[in-house]
Amino acid sequence: MKHLNLHTPPERRLTVMALSIALLVAPGTSLLAADYQEAPQLAEQVKAGTLPPVEERLPENPFVLEPIESVGTYGGVWRSALKGTYDNGWIRRTVAYQPLVAFSLDWSEVVPNVAESFEVNDEATEFTFHLRKGHKWSDGEPFTAADIDFALNDIAKNPEYKGEKAPNFDWDNMTGEVIDETTYRITLERPDGLLIQRLASVDGPFLTFAPKHYCGQLVPSVNPDADKLAAERGFDSWSQALEKTCFTYFTDEKRPSLNAWQQATAYDGLNQIIEFERNPYFYKVDTAGNQLPYIDKATMLQSENVEDILLKVINGEVDFSNRHFATVTNKPVIYDSQESGNYRLTSTVDARMNHAILQLNLNNEDPVKRALYNERDFRVALSLATDREEIVDVIFAGQGKPFQAAPRPESPYYHEELATQYTEYDPDKANELLDGLGLTERNDDGIRLNSAGDPITIQLYTPSDQIEFNDMSQLIVNQWAEIGIQLDQRNVERSFVYERLHGNQHDMHIWWGDGGLGDALLDARYYFPFNRESAFALQWAQWFNNPDSEGGNEPSEPARKQMELYRELKASGDPAQQAEIFKQILDISAEQFWVIGTVLPAEGYMVVNKNLGNVPDSQPYAWLYPQPAPMGTSQLFYKN
Amino acid sequence: MNSTIMTEAAADLPEDSSTVRGTLAGTESQWQLIRRRFRQHRMARVSLYILILFAFCAVFANFLAPKDPLKVQARYTYAPPQGLHFIDRDENGDWSFRPHVYGYKVEVEPEALRRVFVIDPSKKIYLNWFVEGHEYKLLGLFPSNIHLFGPERKRDPLYLLGSDRLGRDMLSRLLLGTRISLSVGIVGVVLSLFFGVLIGGLAGFYGGWFDAVTQRTIEFLRSLPTIPLWMALASAMPSDWSPLRVYFVITLILSLLGWTELARVVRGRFLALKDEDYVAAALYDGASHIRVVMRHMVPAFTSHIITAASLAIPGMILAETALSFLGLGLQSPVVSWGVLLQEAQNIRVLATAPWLLAPGLAIVIAVLAMNFVGDGLRDAADPYAR
Amino acid sequence: MTLYLVRRLVTMLLTLLALSVVVFVVIQLPPGDFITSYIARLSGSGETIDQAVIDTLRERYQMDAPILAQYWAWLKGMLHGEFGYSFEMKLPVAQIFSERIGISLAVELLAVVVMWAVAIPIGIYSAVRQYSIGDYFATVIGFFGLAVPNFLFALVLMYICYVWFGVTITGLFSPEYMNAKWSLDRFLDFVQHVWAPVLVIATAGTAQLVRVLRANLLDELNKPYVLTARAKGLEKRKVIMRYPVRVAMNPLVSTIGWVLPTVISSSFVTAIVLNLPTLSPILLRALLSQDMYLAGALILFMGVLTMIGTLISDLLLAWIDPRIRLGMVGAN
Amino acid sequence: MSTSPEQPVLQVRKLSVDFPHKDGAFHAIESLNFDLLPGKTTCFVGESGSGKSVTARAIMNIVDPAIITQGSVTIIDRESQNSLELTSLDTDSEEIRAVRGARIAMIFQEPMSSLSPVHTIGQQIVEAILLHQDVNETEARKRAIEALKAVHIHSPERAVDRYPFEYSGGMRQRAMIAMAIACEPDILIADEPTTALDVTTQAEILLLIRELQRKRGMSVMFITHDMGVVAEIADDVAVMLNGRIVEHGPVDQIFHAPKHPYTRKLIDASLGLEQAAARPVPPRPDKPLIQIDDIRLQFGGHKSWFSKTVYGAVVALESVSLSLWPGEILGIVGESGSGKTSLGRVLMGRYKPVSGSAIYTDRQGRERDLTQAASFRDKQVYREIRMIFQDPYSSLNPRMTVEQIIAEPLRINGLASGNELRERVANLLERVGLSASMMERYPHAFSGGQRQRIGIARAIALEPRVIIADESTSALDGSVRAQILDLLLDLRDELGLSIIFIAHDIGVVRYLCDRVAVMHRGRVVETGLAHQVCDAPVDSYTQRLISAVPRPDPRQRGLRSA
């Protein structure tokens, strides 16, 4: 496997993607059982008889991981930090990403992971996964197709289960069946060409998360006394107990896993350090036959305060992370302390295509506002009145470039027109456009009056925990005032922003430009009314997801066209075709100019202990691609 | 002890000699006495001057501010403070008095994501008095664009206290913040006083069930942990309120919980005063309750109220700061010390822009000064205390 | 005395009831509920959530029940010793509580002790040497502690320790002792860490105490009984310690009840900045995420603590001041 | 100086004490010379502020914040004749501490505040014993009990563990004395030890001191402003004025051949009271001005919400019946707690009795029951019945000028305004013997006597018919007191006032009043013409009360050992 080359021309990568998903992926070179080595402390346990020998613990065909740099040596602790009690995201991004199929390092393809191989039919309705023979959970119990079936049928599809489950899966559409112990097949009613990517995303491990022999105790279909057991453990219902035990909260450290490091302390918000210890049954080996992981232990300090984490970073107490602290603001400090903190910086390419997307609410309840916001020229005028260079200069120290809400240049779906139109700063033209809309009257403060004769005021609530949104908005307030548009910006608690949003009470919403790289297809929120985050047209998005739902509203013609195209896209199993359809969607986006983008984020960074080996120089940074996990964190090792 | 003996001695002198000592204490009113005794308290006196200075800054913040406190300057983010020089030396080596600062050489370090500022002594920026600058309303009434001082050329950088992350002038922001923070304290305390004196006074004067209920309420309110309560109240505030309204409501919230202390003081004083003979005398003069309270009792503890208030104001300022820290207090574009400090709440600032902590220093000085004034007032408060 | 105690306990119960109402109202006041804040948080990491899940959550947490019913359910639960369930931490409130309460109280009480230990000698010194250089010095230092916002002090302390000593002083334990059982080593480790938060919290309150003690003592120093004691031939220092200080301490003792909520409030912010494993960060998170049962129980608990504190200080006062003990004067 | 040939135990020479002050120093005492002789009592008299207490403290060398500027205090051991000069010692040195309490002991005026409120009597005495005597705690406690027994405290074994506030005033003073004598000092300094006490208690304490002095041969330095007390106990007398001793000599000489005019003034003032002639009884109209019938007043019996104290019902007045006739001065005497002040407050409508009535016939001839709140509503009663308070300091609002204070009743009742008001105030001031030019001053610029005059001016401002004077002269020094009493008599005659004069001082009552009612434990035990009651009391309590009053003549010492 090559290092991520993000500068490959998009067209070329497109083909790579197309190939890799369609093909049946072959397993790596197999090694002889006798070649396997293990960590010294495991060897001791084997010697002491408390652990079976390594070849018995590994599956018949272990996953052979080709190291990024070299074969490593055993030992060491990987230290990082969590913020607060709800930071399971970092755990999922680091030690708990063992889905059936995984993204490749450069996010260009989906490769087998827990599954030794997989097949997808051309219609994108039948997905067959071949598991590894002799694959074991971290407690030594066998991992079989029954475990996947348990996750799918007994949990995800169980109407009695009221807890959270992996979002974004259309569980009703999926039927799973156990073909044999190592073969599992998922059949879809409606085709979904994106399912395999979804399974490789951060949500994918849901299917490999719940050992039936452990979690089954809490499910009535497996254990009739589940409710009683749940009550014994102090829960209201089995469903609650199961959620806590087998979902991604990591609150139950006893749940066996397939991960490189098995959780040793519960992440219950009370433990101050969460520890993960080497899983003796981990199924991956390096090319030399050493059972992974190299590193003995991963520890995550739970901190309440990002500044505390930052201090630990610059003091060299964090080995490999970018969680929470790796912001533009903190970069100078982190950059300066590389020497004293004994770390270096590697880069990440933000999957986000924008530092902030401004979404005018096209479904605004106020007819005057709605009419105005639906004027494309109005949105264009606002875009032209936005001095993006100033934003780049002031807030991002000159790093980044003007960009609209469009897939990133590195992305296979890059759409130049959508990305660059109206990014120039041209207040004169903006004024012209507004005059052209008949908004010529102004009040004493120079604010234009709308058709009802009121000054045009757009309310914007920025979440108070995102200081960059606040700063950017303040600049934009001044910039827009130049063309006679008043932006009334307030900093509020984030939940309040969402409270307004979900009540469709917002004039405008500001958020990161998610969905800029490989996740563009899976998260198309800014390209058309796609999901609950498409704040520019929530009612249309709701209609798209469920035409019968309350609060849904029939979208405009172009939006409907995009939705149809997206359905078509999903029905296709062919990535090339998907990309083609997606381009059509983006064409419409460009034409409609739904939302206003600001600045394309420059490279992000990651703090890496200088002694740490097998670290990729660059990696995409996204939620669906749970950076850094797809690199295979089990290959990290300490030099010397 | 000392003064008691003296007064006694003075008083017992034969009448004709009263001119000797009597003039000293003879016709001085309470305020004159307090003033005299307060003046003897050196710390308090100095502190009072400091507070007057602060108040002056607050009132004339815009006039004093050399730059627009809200004006973003892309080129000068995190610019360090410039040194102020008074003596100018021209090419010929002649000396002259001409206040100036040096310009910056700015470089962007793309790797570290920052601007590096080097003071450039070759670029002299001369300061002038009463220059034209950004527009504002003096005392909130008279539009003006004259500022006490500023750079000769309007666009030249002038950052005597450095700039913040958006290149805004810290000195100007600090001055503007003084206005909000001091007024939060003062308005909050005035409100607290209103509630405190009213409720405490009624409780102390009439006693009985009202007093009992008040006592319970105060005890109850004081048993509430303040910060969580503020948080909850502050986060309950409708967010579409204008910053000014938020400001008043925050103040109100602070004072709603702050009145208890004052009410306790007032009640105690009332209870003690109620038994003073001169209060009984006023009643026997046929004075109404209102008159007894307002004419005879309240003057007796105005000095105590002022003391209590002077000690409560810092509490309010700190409370506002704490709320801002939690992201629940005032927020930009309103500028208060708390808001400024909140923006300085990170390692980045400590490490690379420590001048942004200036508001912290302002808080410390203001709180110290108020406490000393309060102390001085307390010592001078009751010249008749026996 | 028994009657007094019974009466106090009854009023405490009533106050508690009132407190529960206030707390409930307060935690209900902010717009939205746990679900909205939960959704908001998920979107922060790029996650999205299905409407179906939201509906399930709402139903499960009975978010849509009438306020009164919610209150009643909450109150009833508490009467049964069930403090509810933390939505966010997915743990019974009681468990969260019992895990953290010890360390919280330890830090807070330690801060109180340090406050007193520092404040009493300084207060005595300031009163006896009124207007001396030392008095001014102590006053300025004390007020400095009072004036510097806690969070600022904590942050600066953190940074200074990093720059000067290359250590991070956050938390209460080194990583190796974080999840360990209590042992002598762990205790020593605790002691090595606890000074920072205690320093930050205590500085905020010391000035207040010094001032109260100083003022009280100044009053007492001029009382005739001081002269009596000196006329007996007692050393001046002993006179001061044995008589006026003893009397001046009484009002101070009666402030213990108030000191506790003050300390809790100031430890609130400190604990967050210094990342202490106490209840404060949990409460902050609970308030922000509107994890209402957790927040409610914690605030209520703080109230109860204050009430107990007040009761203790009243009893203590009665114990050390015979005038109150024997019913000659009312407490406070 | 001393007329006694005996060797003094204490010699004071040229003693001066200054209070340092910004604008120079205030000389509290200047160049005092005197000796204290063993077994003798030297009384220091003079009005408050004359430097008596400072002298006492200077002897102990505890004068801070003042400083001893010059002079010597030499204490001479009676047996070894070793002498020790005290003023040159460090004020906290071991030598001087060995003297304090052991060789010179001191008792103070206010026994409540002079004892630590948070230590038991026993602890405080034991401490003194342990300081100076080489005994263990058990022994010290035993001695403390003995000391308590010596001062006639009942069941000293139990009393030793009591707190000061559990003692009555007299017992506290005894405890103070017990503490002072516990180490058997050579010199006892008593600083106004009886001023705060009732006459009967005062008599007991005086007796006690004399008894102890005789028994132990102590030298006593007794500070007082009461010439009666001086006459009763002194061997020698030193008269102080403005920090100097103006006259010093044996008691008989001071009383019967005073040299200094100030001494004479003091003696006259006290003798004046004593020698008041019986006044003719004014003719009585048919109806009394105030008829008090069967009043019963009771306090408490309810729980107090906030003070957490439950009071039992205390009966303050029981079947009190009295009448005040027009033009007469009715004295009400009794010890503190006898109910006399409560009676005054009932008449002012401040307390509401449980039963009984107090019918007042106002100027218009309407009858008003002073026990009913309704009677006070129209302010008429307040205009006609006025009050003069005991404490001239607390009864004047310190924040108001004299003009404002006196004008207040006039203003409230709308009787005058503007220049007229000012004139009336000026008139009133002059009437009570003060200069109208003082009108703009604040009360703190006046002496106690002057303040009381202001209080009287306020009282008569409304031209009242009745004045209730509640202990109005008890806080004043002798000569001032006499002036005030004369002023009241003048005003009575001038304005035709009736006065209810509440006092504990029989001398004053005898001097001023036409009739006297003696109260004891809330009841009136005896009423009658003043001179009859004072000279020939019928009731046994009255007899005791009268006999306890010290006579201001050393030749007629009345106190006998109990």
Q: Where are the beta strands (DSSP E) in A497-580?
A: 508-513
pLDDT of residue D562: 36
Residue of D53, D57, D114 to mutate when probing chain C, most C C-beta within 10 A: D114
CA-based nearest residue to B171, from B152, B154, B153, B148: B148
- Give the Cα separation of A229 and A93 in Å (integer): 31
Is the ipTM here above 0.85?
no
Query: According to the model, what pLDDT value does residue A252 have?
Result: 87
Give B-chain residues touching D446 at CB under 8 angstroms: 11
| CA atoms of D108 and D96, how far apart (whole Å) | 20
Q: Which other chains touch chain D, taking contact as 3+ CB pairs less than 8 Å apart?
A: B, C
User: Among positive and negative, which fits the CA dihedral C173, C174, C176, C182?
Assistant: negative
Long-range contacts of D305-314 (CB under 8 A, 24+ apart): D305/B209, D305/B211, D305/B212, D305/B215, D306/B211, D306/B212, D306/B215, D306/C330, D307/C329, D307/C330, D308/C4, D308/C7, D308/C330, D308/C331, D309/C327, D309/C329, D309/C330, D310/C3
**β-strand A508-513 against A273-278: which pairing, if any?**
unpaired
- DSSP string over A150-168: IIIIIIIT-TT--S---TT
Interval A183-241: pLDDT, tens:
999 999 989 988 999 999 988 999 998 999 999 999 999 999 998 998 888 777 888 88
Q: Helices C256-273 and C93-128, interaxial angle, to 10°?
A: 110
Torsion of CA A526, A531, A536, A541, to 10 degrees: 120
Selected residue of C93, C161, C173, C178 to mutate for chain A interface (largest A Cβ count, 10 A): C178
Burial of B216 (0-12, 13-18, 19+ CB in 10 A): middle
List the alpha helices (DSSP H) in A290-366: 306-314, 331-336, 338-341
Q: How far is CA C180 from CA A273, A572, C108, D551, in A?
A: 10, 54, 22, 86
> What's the count of helices (H) and strands (E) in chain D, helices before strands?
20, 20
Per-residue pLDDT at B185 exceeds 60? yes
The amino acid that residue A3 corresponds to is H
User: Sorting pLDDT into bands at 50, 70 and 90, what band is D273?
Assistant: low
Dig out the tokens for A237 from the structure. Answer: 């219902």
Give the D window 60-119 contacts with B, CB below 8 Å: 65-66
pLDDT in tens, A466-515: 888 988 998 999 899 999 999 988 877 777 788 788 788 899 999 988 88
Q: Which positions in chain C touch D57 (Cβ < 8 Å)?
A: 227
Residue B14: pLDDT above 70? Answer: no
Query: Using 50, 70 and 90 to split pLDDT, how confident is the model at D278?
Result: low
Answer whether C149 sits within 8 Å of B325, measured CB to CB.
Answer: yes
Of D26, D391, D445, the CB nearest to B25: D445
Q: Do A333 and B351 touch (CB under 8 A)?
A: yes
In chain A, which stretches have pLDDT less than 70? Answer: 1-34
Closest by Cβ to B5, choosing from D49, D412, D441: D49
For residue C322, list chain D residues with Cβ-Cβ distance below 8 A. Answer: 117-118, 120, 163, 165
Q: Which has the higher per-residue pLDDT, B46 or C288?
A: B46
| Cα(A354)–Cα(A358) distance, integer angstroms | 10
C-alpha to C-alpha distance for A351 and A4, rounded to whole angstroms:
14
Q: Is the dihedral of CA B72, B75, B80, B81 positive or negative?
A: negative
How high is the pLDDT of residue B384? Answer: 52
pLDDT in tens, D252-271: 999 888 999 989 888 887 77
- Length reported for chain D: 562
| Binary contact (C43, A317; C-beta < 8 A) | no
Q: Which of C92-96, C205-209, D23-27, D96-100 has the highest mean pLDDT?
A: D96-100
| Facing residue for A332 by CB, picked from B72, B327, B348 | B348
Q: From CA A21, how far away is CA A13, in angstroms rounded?
A: 13
Tell me: the pLDDT tens digits for B242-293?
767 777 787 787 777 778 877 877 787 787 777 778 888 888 888 888 888 8
Q: Which residue type occupies A143?
A: F
Q: How far apart are CA A89 and CA A252, in angstroms?
A: 16
Q: What is the mean pLDDT of each run of 10 residues along chain C (332 residues)?
A: 75 82 77 71 62 69 74 79 73 82 86 88 86 82 82 88 85 82 87 88 82 82 84 86 83 72 77 85 79 81 78 76 59 34
pLDDT of D291 = 92
Question: Is B357 within 8 Å of chain C by CB?
Answer: yes
Length of chain C in terms of residues written: 332
- Token duo for residue D135: 């005994």
Q: Which of B232, B326, B345 sits opposite C27 (nearest CB)?
A: B232
Interface touch A491/B110, C-beta < 8 Å: no
State the chains in contact with C (3 or more Cβ–Cβ pairs under 8 Å).
Answer: A, B, D
Q: Cβ contacts (< 8 Å) between C329 and chain D: which residues? A: 307, 309
List C-alpha distances in Å: D11 to C17, D76, D101, D184, D186: 72, 8, 18, 20, 13
DSSP for residue C162: I
Q: How many angstroms separate the CA of residue C183 from the nearest CA in chain B?
A: 33
Q: Which of C14, C108, C143 to mutate to test the interface with B (most CBs of B within 10 A)?
A: C143
The residue of chain C with its CA nearest to that of B318 is: C149
**Could you say which DSSP state residue C165 is in?**
I
CB pairs < 8 Å spanning B and C? 123
Residues with Cβ within 8 Å of residue B369, at least 6 apart in sequence: B47, B48, B50, B51, B54
Instruction: Please check the confidence at residue D441 and state whether its pLDDT lies above 90.
Output: no
Does C151 contact B345 at a Cβ distance shorter than 8 Å? yes
Instruction: Dump pLDDT digits (tens) for D122-171.
Output: 999 999 899 888 889 999 999 999 889 888 888 888 889 888 888 887 88
Give ∠ CA B335-B337-B338 in degrees, rounded to 5: 95
Of A164, A265, A303, the CB nearest to C275: A303
- Mark yes or no for CB contact D101/C235 under 8 Å: no
Whether A65 and A318 have beta carbons less than 8 Å apart is answered as no
B139: left (phi over 0), alpha (psi -120 to 50) or beta: left
Beta carbons of D348 and B284 less than 8 Å apart: yes
B-interface mutation test, from D108, D370, D442, D467, most B Cβ less than 10 A away: D442
d(CA C150, CA C142): 14
Contact B360 C152 (CB under 8 A): yes
Position B24 confidence tier, pLDDT thresholds 50, 70, 90: very low
Contact C165, C211 (CB under 8 A): no
DSSP state of C172: S
D18 has which bridge partners? Answer: D27, D67
Of all residues in chain C, what percent are helix, strand and coil, respectively (each to 5)? Answer: 75, 0, 20
Between B223 and D461, the more confident residue is D461
| pLDDT for D15 | 92
- Kindly tell me if the per-residue pLDDT of B115 is higher than 70: yes
pTM equals: 0.80
